[in-house]
Every structure is written in C-alpha cells, then in structure tokens.
Amino acid sequence: MSGHRHYTIRVYGRVQGVGFRYSALQKAREHDLTGYVRNLPDGGVLIEVEGEPAALDLLVEWCRQGPSWSRVERVEVEKQPPQGYTEFRIR
C-alpha cells in the first residue's frame, strides 16, 4: 500500500466515559483502518491509526465532533511512520 499513512491523534475535552473509544473503534473499522485507541491519564483519548489518507482524514473529522455525549475541545494530529498494525483495537 503505497498510500498507507499513520496518524497519532489526541482528542481533548469531555471524551472519557462517553463511549468515545467504542465509537472510534466502529468508525475505524468502518473505514478499514488499523491501530488502537486508549484513554490518556490527562483525560484525553489517544488514537494511533493507519490506513489510506482519505480514510484517515474522515476519522480526524469525526474526532472533531465525537459521539453524541462527548464535547470535543481540541484535536491534535501528528503524522508518523507506519507501524504495521493489522487490526483496530481498544487498549
């Protein structure tokens, strides 16, 4: 996959305890993305994700809104070298 990319996404706001990780899992799988999502000690959510650029951009846009109970205040995205994930999981 020549277009394969890796994004590190950090999402801040009311994003823990609102189903954010489970919704991110569904969105990632829906767009054939691989990687993982986990809560951060500072109250944010970290998503390490790989796939085609268009699908990654769709996930980033979704992160700016999140699931209905969340209130996203900030989204940070860094491009990294691909790690070779084979599935998307919650950690």
Which of the residues are catalytic?
Answer: 21, 39
Which SS3 state, helix, strand or coil, does residue 46 take? strand
Going by C-alpha positions, the residue among 79, 4, 78, 3 that lies closest to residue 34 is 4
Indicate the residue type of 56. L
For residue 76, what is the DSSP state?
E
